[in-house]
Amino acid sequence: MKKKFLDLGKHPITNSFLNKIKKNNIKKEFFYNLSVGFDKKNYLVSLMNFVNPKKQYTSKYAHRASQSKTMNKSFAKIASRLKKRFRPKKVLEIGSNDGVFIKNFKRNNVIAVEPCSNLAKITRQNNFKTYNDFWSKKLAKKIIKQNKKKDLIYSANTISHIPNLNEVFSAVSLTLSKNGVFVFEDPYIGAVVKINSYDQFYDEHVHLFSLLSLSKILSKTDLKVFDIEIIKTHGGSIRFYVCKKNAKFKKTKNLKKVKLLEIKQQLHKFDTYRKFSSRVKKSKRDLRNLLSKLKAKNKKIISYGATYKSTTVFNYCNIGKKFIDYVIDTTPNKQGKFTPGKHLPIISPEKGLDNKVDYAFLGAWNFEKEIKQKEKSFLKRGGKFIVHVPKVRII
């Protein structure tokens, strides 16, 4: 049983970018209550209410994982490390997005699973065998029948998106070969608590894992975690290495280290999340105060990156056109649209980062380094970024 610790109010689906702002569109916009709970039985942090995945992962899915240099490099690096360490002959990716990970493998070695048809179309066009479907036991059985068992299953920012974890791990277990490995990475609850990145909570992030929670969940399966990495990706992620309990892999020392750190951080205690929730409320007050002060001085403020995360920030903090003129983003299928809930127009950085912009709220704060590098001339002429993690501040 989950106990609620955070209530962020009414939120739209983060992928529901609007084509036009018309009375009818706004009336039809779907909202749900975004609140987060902790299950003391398995130490798992999850949303209290799940949105129907069919409403989320549609043929109009906007996020393209290959939109940042950082992510391209990061996927190339992990692909190369996995190839060296496990020498897999048969590879599968769950949630392949636009193919940013699988493009690092030979086409006949790897297959993709992707529920969003517009994204599956891209990997198919690039000649990667792609199953346009949700990950499930049914699909796993079909894949094994057609494509044999897998030596490596990889998944980034997908497992945390799937409500039914029993189904996820049963399907993985069916698909793994005897000594196959399942490597997956997702935003880390330890990082969220540490840097106050409450915007990692939105309709798609239904669970945020720790080692403590995953160990509890896997204890009821025939799988085990044998290695782990805490990584910087997306502002703090956790990468698990999982195999069958009777596979050849021994547990590494990293597991003990991370377990001790999580116990020190009290990730298994409700009180940790109760305290976190007070810090989230303070962050909202601080951000609204800062933006109000800047607006009182007639400053032009925009937002950089039409991220799903910033949909949480804007809807929770009630930040709309009064504060933010528009949002800039490089993703072609976000440009010309409006953000969910607050209906801020999205335009390209070329058009939007003009000389009149005084401040840009960094919706894509997880790419701070890459963006600062790219926007040197904005910074040089006195433009400034605003971030809300770990504290609300101008940088």
Report the distance separating Cα 298 and Cα 46, nearest Å. Answer: 40
Which position among 370, 372, 387, 390 is part of the footprint of ligand DWN (CB under 6 A)?
A: 370
Q: How far is the CB of 234 from ligand DWN (least distance, A)?
A: 6
Would you list the DSSP string of 293-306?
HHHHTT--EEEE--
Report the distance separating Cα 142 and Cα 135, nearest Å. Answer: 11
Which position among 13, 17, 51, 68 is part of the footprint of ligand DWN (CB under 6 A)?
A: 68
Q: Nearer to ligand DWN by C-beta: 151 or 203?
A: 203
Report the distance separating Cα 286 and Cα 388, nearest Å. Answer: 9
- Interface with ligand DWN, residue 35, by CB under 6 A: no
- Interface with ligand DWN, residue 371, by CB under 6 A: yes
Piece of the chain touching ligand DWN by CB under 6 A; list 107-115, 218-226, 276-284, 367-375: 367-375
Report the distance separating Cα 43 and Cα 266, nearest Å. Answer: 10
Q: How far is the CB of 336 from ligand DWN (least distance, A)?
A: 14
Q: Nearer to ligand DWN by C-beta: 7 or 370?
A: 370
CA 231 to chain centroid: 14
- Interface with ligand DWN, residue 88, by CB under 6 A: no
- Interface with ligand DWN, residue 78, by CB under 6 A: no
Which of 30, 42, 31, 33 minimizes the C-alpha distance to 7? 33
Which of 348, 350, 347, 337 minimizes the C-alpha distance to 377? 350
Q: How far is the CB of 188 from ligand DWN (least distance, A)?
A: 12
**Residue 37 corresponds to which amino acid?**
G
- Interface with ligand DWN, residue 67, by CB under 6 A: yes
Q: ∠ at Cα 370 (369, 371), nearest 5°?
A: 95
Q: How far is the CB of 384 from ligand DWN (least distance, A)?
A: 17
The helix (run of H) or strand (run of E) holding residue 253 is helix 253-264
Binding residues among 295-314 for ligand DWN as defined by CB under 6 A = 305-309
Binding mask 219-258 toward ligand DWN (x if CB under 6 A, else -) reads ---------------x------------------------
Piece of the chain touching ligand DWN by CB under 6 A; list 108-116, 164-172, 365-373, 386-394: 365-373
- Interface with ligand DWN, residue 372, by CB under 6 A: no
Would you list the DSSP string of 202-219?
STT--EEB-HHHHHHHHT
**Residue 85 corresponds to which amino acid?**
R
Report the distance separating Cα 238 and Cα 372, nearest Å. Answer: 25
Q: Nearer to ligand DWN by C-beta: 67 or 215?
A: 67
Q: How far is the CB of 76 from ligand DWN (least distance, A)?
A: 16
Q: How far is the CB of 141 from ligand DWN (least distance, A)?
A: 27
Binding residues among 321-350 for ligand DWN as defined by CB under 6 A = 329-331, 334
Q: How far is the CB of 387 from ligand DWN (least distance, A)?
A: 13
Residues binding ligand DWN: what is the number (CB under 6 A)? 21
How far, CA to CA in Å, does 304 sit from each of 197, 308, 322, 372, 383? 17, 12, 17, 11, 12
Report the distance separating Cα 324 and Cα 337, nearest Å. Answer: 15
Residues that bind ligand DWN (CB under 6 A): 63, 67-68, 157, 204, 234, 305-309, 329-331, 334, 364, 366-367, 370-371, 374
